[in-house]
Amino acid sequence: MGDIKKPTTFKEQVQILRSRGLVIDDENAAISMLQNINYYRLSAYLLTYKARDGSYRGVSITDAYNLYQFDKQLRNLILPMLEDIEIAFRTHIAYLIAHKYGALGYKDSQNFRNVDYHTDMLIDLENEINRSDEVFVGHHKRNYGGVFPIWVVIELTTFGVLSKMYSNLLDEDKDEIARKYYNTKGEFVRTWLHSLSTLRNICAHYGRLYNKKLAITPKLYRKAGRIGIKNDTVFANIYIIGRLLKKRDAWEHFVTRLAALIEQYKIVELKCLGFPGDWETILRGL
Q: Model confidence over 93-113: pLDDT tens digits?
A: 999 999 999 999 999 999 999
Contact (CB, 8 A) for 157 and 125: yes
Chain centroid, CA 92 distance in Å: 20
- The predicted pLDDT at position 265 comes to 96
In the chain, % of residues over pLDDT 70:
94
Vertex 267 angle, CA 37 and 78, to 5°? 65
Q: Specify the range with the lowest mean pLDDT, choosing from 40-44, 52-56, 73-77, 264-268.
A: 52-56
- The predicted pLDDT at position 51 comes to 83
User: Which amino acid, 5?
Assistant: K
Q: Which residue has the higher pLDDT, 63 or 140?
A: 63
- The predicted pLDDT at position 192 comes to 98
- The predicted pLDDT at position 133 comes to 65
Summarize pLDDT for 210-227 with one digit per residue, the tens: 999 999 999 999 999 999
DSSP secondary structure letter of residue 112? B
Asked whether residue 168 carries a pLDDT value surpassing 90, the answer given is yes
Q: Which residues pair with 169 in a beta bridge?
A: 112
Q: What stretch of H or E contains 30?
A: helix 27-36
CA-CA distance, 43 to 46, in Å (whole number)?
5
Closest listed residue to residue 92, CA positions, set 198, 218, 176? 176
- The predicted pLDDT at position 139 comes to 60
* All residues at 6 or more sequence positions from 133 whose CB lies less than 8 Å from its CB, including other chains: none
- The predicted pLDDT at position 57 comes to 77
DSSP secondary structure letter of residue 54? S
Coil, helix or strand at residue 52:
coil
- The predicted pLDDT at position 17 comes to 92
Q: Which residues pair with 23 in a beta bridge?
A: 60
Q: What is the mean pLDDT of the chain?
A: 92
Neighbours of 139 (CB within 10 A): 11
